[in-house]
Structure formats: structure tokens, C-alpha cells
Structure 1
């Protein structure tokens, strides 16, 4: 009987011991594997990172040098480069600059600013043309030239007109010209009229040069015998259509102070001539051209022409050449 009851009690005791042993083991593992709250995990993670960074900084940061405890006298300065050899001297030393070298490199400027002393010359026939007139043919010329330097020149100017082998107008002018600017000259001299009528002499003074926008301007005042006076104004412009084809408009006006019936001239505005010429420069010195010219008389001058059987206005087609040398 005792043997039959020992088996159940022994099995029960063994089950109790086994259950107690399993619970203790489970509690031990749950303690080690329990899940922590997220905030606590982040705090632990950041603390681990901070601890790792501090350990890294402690490992990498150099230790401060105590300069006070260093013995500078015992240091070997040769190891720091103070006793390194200096660069080698150039094989050919550069000589010092002397006054003679400076004078040769920078000569005095006054020698370069002097004007040319030699004489120069220039002669040009700006207009040498012909046309078909009512009675025969007509010819006209306008020429100018000078000799001298850049500042002082002797100028010669001449213009005239012939119709049917008869000279209707011709004059010759001689001036002393002085350059007053890079673009303007002042001239003074005399003028002699061969035609029309009896010959006459004039004193003359004027200016000539290049106005703004490249207009070539010429203005000359004249004082003659018996109180006669005159003023001539001329302006022209050159329009480059191509490098060789040039269109040249021109206008010229004559004024007189008093009537001169012997010469068929009235006071005031006597005549105006406007022309348009197209030239082709075969070379810079030689250029044939064609053009159209309109001339008109005003006031008493127109009346004098009508009395002579001439028209007060005239339009003609011209052809000619422009040469200079």
C-alpha cells in the first residue's frame, strides 16, 4: 500500500519542482529580453553615441603643448630649416640701371613734337567739267593748290567758266594761310577778277576747313575798289556709297554789297549754285564723274541777265574728272 501511494506523491513533487524551476528561468529571461519604451531606447542610444564621440575625441585630440616647460635652448633649430642653404646666385648678375640707360630708353619728347620743316605741295582740280549748252558747249573749272608746311602755307585758288569758246567768268586768288586748329585755316590775300567786265582787284580774308559732320566749308569776304564788297560761301560733303563710288553734293552762294551794272551784278544775294556729282575713283588721284548742276540768279542780278538775253536760272548735266597731284 505504501508502495502504491509513493508514486503519485513523488510525481507530484517532481512536477512542482519542475514548474518552480521553469518560472524562475522564464523570469530571468524576461528580465534580460524585456522591451523598453522608445524614449528610453533613444536616451540610451544617444548616451551610447555621446560616450563613443567623447571616447573618439579623447583619442584623436592632440594634447596641448606646454611651452613654458619647453627648453628652447636645447631645441635643434637646424631640423626646422633655419640652416638650409640659400638659393644659388645667378650666373650673370643684372647690372644696375645707369643714367645713360634711362636716356637711351626715354629720349626727350621735344624732338618728337617738332613739325616737319620740309616744304610740301598739293594741286587739285576739284572740278574740270563740260556740258552741252544752248549755243555750243560749256566748260568750267575749279582748282586749288598750296605750298608750305603744316602751319604756314601759300594758297592759290582759281575758278572760271566758258561758253561757246567765250570766257564768261574767271578769277585767281593768292592767300597766306595759317593753321589755327587741326581742322581750320585762316587765310588772307588778294583776288583778281579777269571776267566778267573789266578786271578788278580785291583784298580778301576768310576761313576754310572741316566743319562738324565732315562738311568742307569755305567762307571768304572781299573788299574792292570804290567801296565794293562781296562774300562767297561754299559747302560740300562727300558721301561714300562704296570704297570707290562717292556722291558729292555742293552749294555755293555769292553776296555783293552794292550794284555793279558794268559787271551785271546787283546788291544782296546775287546767285546760288547747287550741284550733285557722282564720281568713281579709278585711283585716289583720278576720278571721272557725272552730275547735275542748277544755277539761279536773284534780285537785280537776275534783271541784268534778262536784259542781256540770258535766263535767270539754268540746269545742266555735266561730265568731268577730278584729279590731284
Structure 2
């Protein structure tokens, strides 16, 4: 077989188109061994003279010369200043259906997207136990309306069993969506406890901040002229599909002393809590947690002077409900 290989190679070279062309022009082809031994890497193709080549020849027309084209200039990575395309004002469906029928269809679709409904949400309804005794706490709201405007009734409070409640608040306000993330609050709040009762004008904002923090801030002006502020922040951390951890913080601030309410100017009260909720059924989810509350500044001094405690920590057991 080793002896037949040179013979077959010679026959193939002799019958190839290049060999036929060489016979017609009288030139000779290099031998296979000589061609294999040539060093093509050392050849300088840049000195080849292509001026005499006919680029219009049939064999040249089929060649793709785009790979050899040099760029016309340096490519710039700076953005252009071309104007944006105009906003389309037509509706593709009107190419096939009457314009008045499509306008009526769009109006009906927008009407279906507007809704009014009623909901009741109890965020906290809990039993608290600690060194200072057993107590209770609640926080929730009911609202009627849609996704843009709602009428809201909100209430929260706390107390100790066997004694009068320390705090009972009932707020009523109009909630208006400012954007997809934040809502405006305008209304009033009635404090039934502590005594004496107070009625406040309320303006606030609530919403979802970046990284999914739930924020709320309210400014309150009472019928006696004293001004207060409240801020809340919370975060919902889903551990599993059923376990949810919800830490939160609440702080109250007074702009002046209110001796009748045992409130001093500055920060009044700080409350921290964390609740672990089992949310197998989101309409009724039990939870356990811890709650810590402390009076601050002048309010703490007034509490000490009246023989009251200024801080306390308690374990909480409660339920969260939505209807």
C-alpha cells in the first residue's frame, strides 16, 4: 500500500483542473512533496501585485471581499443625539375593525379595571406577658375603595388586664395613591386614651421603599394646638412558604411639652418588635414574638415622677387576620 500512494497522488494531480490549466499555458505544477515542504508562514502576501487581476471575472464575482474591507474610520462609543421616534397614536386593531367599535371596547376595558371593595385587615391581635404583668395589644384597619382612592378606618392600642387601657386610637382618613409605591393620607385621629381625650388633624404618607421596606410617617395637630409626629418602619422576610418574620419599629415625637398628657418635648416613645408568623392560611395566621417599649426624654422623666415604669419587654402570642 505504501508504494501505491505516490502513484495515486500523481494521478490525482495530473487529472486536476490546475494540471489541465498548466498544460494549456505550458507551466508546470510543483511536486506534492515540494509543495508540502513549503513554508507558507514566511511568505509575504502584502507584496502581491493584484493590479493586473480582473475583479469582474466570473470566478472573482462570487468571492466575498467584505472580510478584507478596512473600516472607514474609528468607531465611536459616544451616544448619538438623534431625536426619539414619535409615540404611536394609532391602534393596530383599527386596521381590521371599525374605529368607533374599538373605542367603545377600550372604554369598557378601562371601566372593568376600576373597582370598589371592602376589606378588614387585623395586623396584630395579641396577648402580651412580661415582668410588669399580662396585657394585650391590637393594630388593624378597614377600608373601602379602589386602588387609587380609599376611605380608611385605622385603630391601635394597648393595655394591661385589670386596668384601664393605656392607649386607644381611632383614625379616619382618605388615602390617595401618589404613584405605584406611595400613598397620601388626609384625615383625623381621635385618642380616647390617655386622658384627657384629644382630636387631631392628620396628614401622612405611607408606602413601599426600595428593598421592600414598609414606611409610614404622620404629622398630627391637636384641637389644643400641640403638634406630634409618628414614624413606622417594617420589613416582611419570608423564610419559607409558610414562615414569615416581620420586624418593625415605631417612634413618637412631640414638638412641645404637653403636661396634661404627661408628654415632654422631643422623642416620646420607642417601640421595637419582631413576630414570627405561620402563614399556612393567609386569612388567619398565628404568630409568636417579642415586643419592647420605652418612654424617652422628658416623657420618661414625667413617668418616673408619677411612679410609672419607663420600659418593658414582653413575649407576645397573637393572630393576624384578613377578611
Q: 1:51 & 1:286 partners in 2: Cα distance? A: 93
Are residue 256 (structure 1) and residue 254 (structure 2) matched? Answer: yes
Are residue 162 (structure 1) and residue 132 (structure 2) matched? Answer: no
Query: What count of residue pairs does the alignment treat as equivalent?
Result: 235
SS in 2 for 1:226: coil
Q: Which residue is equivalent to 1:266? A: 264
Q: Which residue is equivalent to 1:210? A: 208
Q: 2:22 & 2:158 partners in 1: Cα distance? A: 114
Q: Which residue is equivalent to 1:137? A: 134
Q: 1:145 & 1:250 partners in 2: Cα distance? A: 21
Give, in angstroms, the shift of residue 263 of structure 1.
1.5
Return closer, same or farther for 1:51/1:250 CA change in 2, 3 Å cut-off.
closer
Q: 2:22 & 2:234 partners in 1: Cα distance? A: 96
More helix by share: 1
Give, in angstroms, the shift of residue 164 of structure 1.
2.1
Give, in angstroms, the shift of residue 181 of structure 1.
0.6
TM-score (ref. length: structure 2): 0.67
Structure 2 unmatched ranges of 5 or more: 1-13, 26-92
Q: Which residue is equivalent to 1:236? A: 234
Q: Which residue is equivalent to 1:197? A: 195
Q: 2:265 & 2:143 partners in 1: Cα distance? A: 32
Larger Rg: 1
Q: 2:182 & 2:24 partners in 1: Cα distance? A: 90
The CA deviation string for residues 72-121 of structure 1, in whole angstroms up to 9 with x for no partner, is xxxxxxxxxxxxxxxxxxxxxxxxxx9784349x9344543446444211
* Aligned partners of 1:116 and 1:150 also within 8 Å: no
Return closer, same or farther for 1:52/1:142 CA change in 2, 3 Å cut-off.
closer
The CA deviation string for residues 218-267 of structure 1, in whole angstroms up to 9 with x for no partner, is 11100012320000100100001001101101000000111122212111
Q: Which residue is equivalent to 1:107? A: 102
RMSD: 2.6
Give, in angstroms, the shift of residue 132 of structure 1.
1.9
Structure 1 unmatched ranges of 5 or more: 1-44, 56-97
SS in 1 for 2:309: coil
2:24 aligned to 54, 62, 66, which one? 54
